[in-house]
């Protein structure tokens, strides 16, 4: 472990696998204690075991971030255990099979669920753990998407809305010296990113990148570690694309 986050606490939602797990391992290697949250307990157990194998420590919490009561119960538990929270990573997200098609015909209930998990939930969680973030002069990282820049799907639209929330949160939380930034991944080699995208489409889109290799969860996690470190401490109120300069961000429709 390199130890840049020794004695610090990092909360990561959606950490049962994929990008959330990559964040957990990256911060564990730097000495952080991890608070891991997800709906999938089996995946959380696996992430915790990997964190401990890397020499870190972690607690796990099952929570549905689309349900306000569960968000508040989770936040109460976190505040009961931690006076300080150095980093909150709002990584959890939802596309429910709608990541590669247009948005008509979804209906009110599905739209509300998308917005609850992808847009409003991250703000409510940050608001609920604000005292601990304030004590640490911490950082909030919201997971956006390349799809937010030409939003033509429910996923892209809710992520574009999250970009606006990120700006507003940076302004509002700034009164407590809490920073808020967004990270917008491009084509990342994760199970969630690949779902619903045909192999030939994937290769075509990768060919539109200036950086001709597949993006990885570690690329995003490393950016998160930088932004949370002393080296990144003057970056605020930005949503940063990490997409290899892909020129077709709105491809999913």
Tell me which residue has tokens 């992808």: 118
149 is catalytic: no
Rounded to whole angstroms, the Cα distance separating 174 from 243 reads 28
Rounded to whole angstroms, the Cα distance separating 86 from 4 reads 12
Buried b (16+ CB within 10 A) or exposed e, 236-247: bebbbbbbbebe
Rounded to whole angstroms, the Cα distance separating 51 from 115 reads 31
Return the closest-CA partner of residue 225 out of 18, 28, 15, 16: 28
Instruction: Output helix, strand, coil percentages for the chain, rounded to the nearest 5.
Output: 50, 15, 35
Q: Residue 249 phi/psi, 5° resolution?
A: -70, -20
Active-site choice (5, 27, 103, 155): 155
Q: Residue 213 phi/psi, 5° resolution?
A: -155, 165
Q: Which residues are catalytic?
A: 155
């Amino acid at each position: 472990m390199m130890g840049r986050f020794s004695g610090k606490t990092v909360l990561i939602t959606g950490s049962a696998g994929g990008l959330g797990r990559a964040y957990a391992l990256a911060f564990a290697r730097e000495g952080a204690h991890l608070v891991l949250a997800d709906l999938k307990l089996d995946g959380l157990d696996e992430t915790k075991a990997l964190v401990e194998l890397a020499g870190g420590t972690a607690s796990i919490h099952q929570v549905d971030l689309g349900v306000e009561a569960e968000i508040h119960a989770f936040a109460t538990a976190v505040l009961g255990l931690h006076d300080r929270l150095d980093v909150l990573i709002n990584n959890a997200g939802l596309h429910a099979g709608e990541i590669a098609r247009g948005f008509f015909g979804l209906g009110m209930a599905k739209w509300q669920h998308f917005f609850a998990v992808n847009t409003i939930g991250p703000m409510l969680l940050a608001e609920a753990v604000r005292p601990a973030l304030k004590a640490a002069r911490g950082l909030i990282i919201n997971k956006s998407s390349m799809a937010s820049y030409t939003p033509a799907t429910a996923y892209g639209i809710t992520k574009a809305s999250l970009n606006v929330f990120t700006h507003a949160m940076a302004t509002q939380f700034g009164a407590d010296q809490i920073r808020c930034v967004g990270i917008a991944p491009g084509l990342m080699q994760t199970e969630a990113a690949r779902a619903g995208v045909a192999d030939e489409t994937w290769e075509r889109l990768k060919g539109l990148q200036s950086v001709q290799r597949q993006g990885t969860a570690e690329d995003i996690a490393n950016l998160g570690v930088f932004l949370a470190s002393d080296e990144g401490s003057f970056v605020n109120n930005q949503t940063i694309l990490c997409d290899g300069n892909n020129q077709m961000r709105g491809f999913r429709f």
